[in-house]
Chains A and B, each alone.
Chain A
Amino acid sequence: MTGRVIVITSGKGGVGKTTTNANIGTALAREGKKVVMIDTDLGLRNLDLLLGLENRIVYTIVDVVEKRCKLKQALVKDKKNPNLCLLAAAQTRDKSAVTEEQLKEICEELQKDFDFILVDCPAGIEQGFQNAVAGASEAIVVTTPEMSAVRDADRIIGLLEAKEEIKSYRLLINRVRPNLIKSNDMMSVEDVVEILSAKLIGIIPEDTGIITSTNKGEPIVNDEKSLAGRAYKNVAQRIMGNEVPYLDLEAETSVVAKFKKFLAGLVGKEKVGGKEKQ
């Protein structure tokens, strides 16, 4: 087996790289794929928190590189899904603790046992980015419909295009707010795609559920009712090569839909649970 190594990057911080990583990874694992996530954000690790695995980490990627343990020992298994593993970043070291070459080796080794290796890239375009990209052949560029995030994504795309190893990259637009787009207060998905002239892989709506899911250490794809969760599941499908239509976010988040939800909440939750899924 040779797994696909996909780096998830953005340039700007806070656009949802780690959330995207946790959710795509979990969604792929739910589809029966063997997935390992590598957190390369040395010194600022967070992927463990989003997955609720922070108390289970014994060894980190730096321990692997410095040969204090075997690679397999450092992989932390997910609580729910045995297909899903995490290779955590070291919290007490900086970006120089792991080199590009070492990350490449780790990725190559993991490719033998896993279908997908998702590399969580730190923000910025410095060495941390170079390291994270080193072992990957595909990239997902996460951005939001905000000027600063789009500008940084453009920089990242420029850097990715210059890398021979990166065969393809696609754009994931996060925190989309259909209401603001409709009122012409925010750039639309089409605007961002046109400005960056990049291929799209996903559109994720802004969802307050992300906050609660982060707090609980439970990726939102596990919440069947969540719109963002559904959108992330679709991204996982597209990564696997399946064509899935994009969700009609405007319709899903319209006042009418919210009102229905509101009413449904008054009438009784069980009754509507099934309806909401569709």
Chain B
Amino acid sequence: MDLFTDIYNKVMGFFRRTDAEETAKDAACNRLRVVLMQDRTNLNPQLLEKMRKELIELLSKYVEMDKEALELNFEQEGEQMALMLSIPVLRAKPEEEIEKALEEEEAKCEEESEEESSEEETPETDEELGDEENIQEDASEEEVESEEV
């Protein structure tokens, strides 16, 4: 009987729904959002991982961060899709250190271009970033907790 299973579920539901667990509905919505973003962008997990690594490489020049905790996610914001990047920053690097690292890199690039042996690494990464629809970096200064997606 439909009716009695309904009543049973109602009564049981009343006792069950006390904890703040993720509901089946929320799980479905969240999983779908992630999977649809991947479907829509044609970015498979391997490519996403590559993007993650390249971002870490790029950003480590400027800040010291918890590389393991870096989160990269797509989010839907109305009509637009956003790439959300959440990085727990351990320590802001001192200016001199950043500049030194950049100079070193430049020198390395020049050497490489003089030799004309291989392609430059950094501009390529930059370009790839520019291609993404929207990049929002959650973390700018001190530690930022990765927000729930």
Contacts and interface: CB of A to CB of B under 8 A. Distances in A.
Contact of B25 (A155, A191, A197): A191
Contacts of B28: 146-147, 186-187, 191
Nearest to B79: A197
Contact of B33 (A146, A184, A195, A208): A195
Interface string A214-256: 0000000000000000000000000000000000000000010
Given A155-B39, A191-B29, A258 B3 contact: yes
Given A179-B9, A255-B6, A259-B3, A188 B25 contact: yes
Nearest to A258: B3
Nearest to A259: B3
B32 A151 contact: yes
A124 to B, nearest CB: 16
A258 B40 contact: no
The number of chain A residues touching the other chain, given as a range, is: 20 to 34
Interface in B1-23: 2-3, 6-7, 9-10, 13, 17, 23
B6 A184 contact: no
Given A185-B23, A185-B24, A179 B6 contact: yes
Contacts of B26: 184
Contacts of A155: 39
A158 B28 CA distance: 21
B32 A150 contact: yes
A183 B9 contact: yes
Given A158-B40, A186-B24, A187-B25, A147 B3 contact: no
A184 B24 contact: yes
Contacts of B29: 187, 191, 195
Nearest to B29: A191
Q: Among B3, B7, B25, B31, which residue has the most Cβ atoms of chain A within 10 A? A: B25
Interface in A185-216: 185-188, 191, 195, 197, 208
Contacts of A208: 2
Interface in B70-84: 76, 79
Contact of B3 (A150, A154, A183, A262): A262
B102 interface: no
B35 interface: yes
Interface string B36-64: 10011000000000000000000000000
Contacts of A195: 29, 32-33, 36, 76
A172 B77 CA distance: 23
A69 interface: no
Contacts of A262: 3
B3 A151 contact: no
Interface in A155-177: 155, 158
Contacts of A158: 40
B2 A151 contact: no
Contacts of A187: 25, 28-29, 32
Contacts of A185: 23-25
Interface of A: 146-147, 150-151, 154-155, 158, 179, 181, 183-188, 191, 195, 197, 208, 255, 258-259, 262
7 contacts: A150-B32, A184-B17, A184-B23, A184-B24, A184-B26, A186-B25, A197-B76
